[in-house]
Structures are given as structure tokens and as C-alpha cells.
Structure 1
Amino acid sequence: MTPNWIDLDGLVNLRDVGGISTDDGDKIKTGRLLRSDNLQSLTEDDIAALLRYGLTDVIDLRSTHEVDSEGPGPLTGRDDVRIHHHSMFRESDPEVSSDQPHEKVEAAPAEALPWIDLEPSVQVSDASASFYLSYLVDRPDSVLASLRDIAEAPGAALVHCAAGKDRTGTVVALALSVAGANRAQIIADYAASTEKVPEIVDRLRRSKTYAANLEGRPLSSHHTRPETMEHVLAFLDRQHGGVLPYLTSIGWTDADTERLRAKLLND
């Protein structure tokens, strides 16, 4: 299916996953789950458009140091949007998961991007998949909380990280899997971010948080290749019997599944 891109001035990788088919013939409803790059550059018109779209909850997967370095976003502190912060990386600082701005944490520059020099906890033949699977091993608390926040959002939930493709792609793939989405379409949704890589990288290069890390890296190194998500899902099949058994092993319940499916599928 064609990605359901949403054009806003302050985002380059925003889309609604509505329209993805399930294996039993249903479709993910539009206006339930959005995914994007980081929200720091939202304009007032962008915010108004998102509120008209029904946005009520933001799930921010960036590290504490990224959030601190970038500073409060345009949606921080609003009464009409709840912000849930769930880092996908191992961190030495206490985790922040709050609707309120957290106190500033002083971080050394090298700590601001926790994936620099980080050895993945899981090693598979695809390097990106190794990092994605490490999110699941290192931060099962954030995985569960993110999926539950999507399920419990009264309106549209928006999941984002920095680029909106790696951490975001992993969590969204899990959510779609719980809803019974067709695997080929889950993989295609993940891979769609490649189309936006030039704009994503250009935007991140203008940020002091990410610029140095991007120096010298070819655009192709940022691509979301279908085989990467295939590796992730195949690993979960081999090790756990699938996404749902993996989630069950970290505390996910049948009631959680019912709520998330209702959120994404029910009228």
C-alpha cells in the first residue's frame, strides 16, 4: 500500500499507519496511530493541524540526554496533549516517563547519543536489526509502556524518536503485529522511511545534538531496508514463537492485546 504521508512544515517523516491490512481481512483505522521524526520544529499551524487530526498522546522514544540536549518541544506543557517519554536505550540516569518537563540533566557530549560506541545486546547478521532487538532486551519496560500508551490514548497516538525510523519503526512494527497486521505490510511500512532519508538527514544535521554523529556517513547507511525488519521479526519467531509470545514474556497480558487491537481496529 502507498504510505499515508502527512505534510507539515516542521516534520519530514510523518505518516498515519491507517489502511494497513490485517491477515483476517480488517484494516488498521486511520487517525489512531501516527509515526514521525522528532517534534522540535513544529509550527503553530502544525500543532493546530495535529490537534484537528485528533492527536492526544505523544510517545517519545528518545534518550533522556537527547531530550535534554534538544530542550522542551512545542507540545511540552500543553493541557491537551500528553507526552510519554520512554527511552529505548540503557541509561545511567533515572528514566523519565511523565507529562511534565523533567529537570535538566547535565550530560557530557559523548553521552547525548547513547548508541555511539554501544555494543548491541543482541547480535544478528544485520547490524541495524541487532540494535532494534537490543531495544527489546535492554528496555522491556519502555516497550510495554509505549504499547500501553498507544492503546490507552483517547485520540490519535503519535510515536516518534529523532529520525522516526529506527526506534519508532520497531515499536510501530510491534503494535501492528499485535493488531494482526499483514507481515509484508508491516515490513513495507518500516521500509517507507527510506523515501524521506535525504530530508531526515538534512534536518538532523542542523541540530547540535546530531550533527557530529552524521559526519561522513553516506545516506545509504540511514536507509530502512526491508530485510532489516525481516531479521527482527524472524528472530522473534525463532526465539519466542512470535511477537505476542515475546511480549507475554515481558509482562504483556491478554487484556493489553484486547485494548491495543480495539484501539487500532474498532470503529
Structure 2
Amino acid sequence: MQAISLEGSYNTRGIGPRGAPRLVRTAALDTLTAEGERVLRAHGADLVLDLREPSERGAHDHGLPVRSIPLYGSAPPASGTLEDVYARLIADRGDRLAAAVVAIAEHPGTVVVHCTAGKDRTGLVVALARLAARHDPHEIFADYALSGAAVRTARSGLVAARLDALGLAGAERRDAERLHLDSPADALTTALQRIELGGGIDRYLLAHGATPEHLAALARRFSWRSPSCAGAAGDATAWDSATAARDTTAARDTTAARDTTAAGAAAGSGSGSGSGSRAGSGAGAAA
């Protein structure tokens, strides 16, 4: 994971070897300058994946090709909690999340993924792609957690004005500020736990339109060994508990299925043996 200074945007990081990332995540590129475009191209970027809604997108001057995959399907939430917003995306917009991950898997070059601030929608999509590639979850959490500082610096004034206009105060305002400005690792942990407890990332993506070939392509794209990222250590216990719960459930289901099969086979064997004995005995008596 490497910070990239990008003229005309912010919150930009490369995922992969230094200078040659396999994926770039950033805030919106509507104001990207010619120098900013040069930097992205120097890092191998040759496709932009825009996760915003049509109403959010503005004109841009850069020459990179853009693919649009809106995630929300409606106006972005103005208030609420991070956890609720992420839970709704995972539960209701799995096809869009999977489509974005598939776009990363299918593109042979380096994709630049962004939404507005490069925090929530971008954070989820990048996390899902990396989780499918078997990256260390704690590195994923640490990368996600870096966005908060950059976003607060860039957007605090704008967010305050918008929340003032909505008349939000108290706990509701604190939740909205956290939604728009923060990226606490525990919020992403909670979101990904939902997927783990539902059977894991492979099952989730396959159920929403990805194929085994897409999963294999992600593994190849993200196959380097990345250095450990500092931070997010406090989420290890929660994540490992969810993974253990998933594995325990899977093992229990496998054992139950095996026992059911064995019981059925034994019943069939016993039935067949009993029928054969009775038939043989009856035939002998008749003779």
C-alpha cells in the first residue's frame, strides 16, 4: 500500500508493488489536472471505475477511459450510521458490488477505483476484491482506516455546511459526520463479518454474478506478498471470531450431511438385507 500525491484529487493510494500498483483507489477525478493524469498513467492506470450515481458526476478533463457502475441506485445517504449504510449495500446491492469487483478482475491493466471521497463505496469494493484474493484482512482494514484523515482535511467544511442545511444536531449529527468523514476499521470489520457469516466472500460474489474465473483472475492480479500495514489491530479478534464461526458452521453442516448420508445408506442396507432374508425363507417353504 502506497500513498500517491495526485494533483486535482486526494485520498489516493496504490495497492501493489511500489510504482507499479495493481489497483489505485482515490477520491473523485472531476478536477484531476494534466499533471495528475500523468501521475496515474505513470503508475500504469488505464481505466477509471466510477462508483458514483449519475447525479454526482461532473465534467472532467482527463483522457482516461471511464466505466460507470453506480452502487447506491439512488441519491447517496445524507445521514445515518456507517454500519447501516454498509449493511444495506451488502444486503441489497450485492449485484452492483460484485459487478464492480468483476470489472477489476476482467481488466488486464491497472484500474483506478473512485466514488466521491474514495472512502465508503470505494472502500467496500477494494476490500471485497482484496478479500477474494486472500489478502490479510487486517491489512485491508488498515488500508481502509487511512481514508478518514484525508477525507476530514478535504471535506470537513463542506460536510458541516450540508449538515447545517439539514438541521441535524446531537447524536444524529455525530452519526452523519462519522458517515461522511470517518473510516473506522471496526465499521468495515462489521460489514465484512456479515459476508463471512453468510458463507464467505467466494459464496457472496458467486451468488451475485461473479464466476470462478473472476475469482481466479483476482488471485492472479493480487498475487504479490504485500508488507503488513500498521493499525487496525483491535479488529483482529472480531474478524477472527467471525471467520471461526463461519468455519464452525460449515464443518457442522458437512458433518450433518455426512451423518444423514450414512444413516440413509445403513437404513437402505438393513432394509435390503431384511427383504432378501424374508424372500429366501418364503421361497424355500414354498418349494
Q: What is the rounded CA distance, in whole Å, between the counterparts of 1:139 and 1:13 in structure 2?
A: 24
Moved more, 81-90 or 138-147: 138-147
- Note the C-alpha offset of 1:266: 6.5
**Aligned match for 1:17, one of 15, 18, 25:** 15
Residues 193 and 223, structure 1, Cα contact 8 Å, conserved in 2: yes
Residues 29 and 264, structure 1, Cα contact 8 Å, conserved in 2: no
**Aligned match for 2:185, one of 215, 223, 226:** 226
Q: Give the structure 2 partner of residue 73 of structure 1.
A: 60
Provide the secondary structure at the position in 2 that maps to 1:224. Answer: coil
Q: What is the rounded CA distance, in whole Å, between the counterparts of 1:83 and 1:32 in structure 2?
A: 17
Q: What is the rounded CA distance, in whole Å, between the counterparts of 1:116 and 1:220 in structure 2?
A: 11
Equivalence map 1:97-112=2 (5 Å): none
**Normalising by the residue count of structure 1, what TM-score does the alignment of the two structures yield?**
0.72
After superposition, the C-alpha distances for 1:235-261 in whole angstroms (9 at most, x for unaligned) are 1122x2211111122122111101122
Q: What is the rounded CA distance, in whole Å, between the counterparts of 1:266 and 1:235 in structure 2?
A: 27
Matched, 1:145 2:145: no
- Note the C-alpha offset of 1:165: 0.5
Matched, 1:114 2:76: yes
**Normalising by the residue count of structure 2, what TM-score does the alignment of the two structures yield?**
0.68
Q: Give the structure 2 partner of residue 88 of structure 1.
A: 71
Q: Give the structure 2 partner of residue 64 of structure 1.
A: 54
Q: What is the rounded CA distance, in whole Å, between the counterparts of 1:162 and 1:183 in structure 2?
A: 24
Residues 8 and 33, structure 2, Cα contact 8 Å, conserved in 1: yes
Provide the secondary structure at the position in 2 that maps to 1:246. Answer: helix
- Residue identity in the other structure for 1:72: A
- Relative distance call for 1:220 and 1:114 in structure 2 (3 A) is closer
- Residue identity in the other structure for 1:263: R
Matched, 1:257 2:202: no
Equivalence map 1:11-50=2 (5 Å): 11-18=9-16, 30-50=20-40
Residues 61 and 86, structure 1, Cα contact 8 Å, conserved in 2: yes
**Aligned match for 1:54, one of 44, 52, 69:** 44
Unaligned runs of 5+ in 2: 226-287
Q: Give the structure 2 partner of residue 197 of structure 1.
A: 151
Q: What is the rounded CA distance, in whole Å, between the counterparts of 1:186 and 1:52 in structure 2?
A: 24
Q: What is the rounded CA distance, in whole Å, between the counterparts of 1:214 and 1:161 in structure 2?
A: 20
- Note the C-alpha offset of 1:130: 2.0
- Note the C-alpha offset of 1:30: 4.3
Residues 56 and 154, structure 1, Cα contact 8 Å, conserved in 2: no
- Note the C-alpha offset of 1:200: 2.7
Q: What is the rounded CA distance, in whole Å, between the counterparts of 1:237 and 1:263 in structure 2?
A: 22
Equivalence map 1:239-258=2 (5 Å): 240-258=198-216
Q: CA RMSD in A?
A: 2.5
Q: What is the rounded CA distance, in whole Å, between the counterparts of 1:157 and 1:63 in structure 2?
A: 19
Higher relative contact order, chain-length normalized (CA < 8 Å, sep 6+): 1
Residues 88 and 138, structure 1, Cα contact 8 Å, conserved in 2: no
After superposition, the C-alpha distances for 1:212-236 in whole angstroms (9 at most, x for unaligned) are 5354766655211111011011111
Residues 236 and 242, structure 1, Cα contact 8 Å, conserved in 2: yes
- Relative distance call for 1:117 and 1:191 in structure 2 (3 A) is closer
Query: Percent of counterpart pairs with the same letter?
Result: 31
- Note the C-alpha offset of 1:54: 1.0
After superposition, the C-alpha distances for 1:112-155 in whole angstroms (9 at most, x for unaligned) are x431368xxxxxxxx31221232233333322221122122232
Residues 13 and 164, structure 1, Cα contact 8 Å, conserved in 2: yes
More helix per residue: 1 or 2?
A: 2
Residues 90 and 138, structure 1, Cα contact 8 Å, conserved in 2: no
Provide the secondary structure at the position in 2 that maps to 1:265. Answer: coil
After superposition, the C-alpha distances for 1:74-120 in whole angstroms (9 at most, x for unaligned) are 23xx3xx32111111133xxxxxxxxxxxxxxxxxxxxx431368xx
Task: Count how many residue pairs are aligned between Structure 1 and Structure 2.
Answer: 215
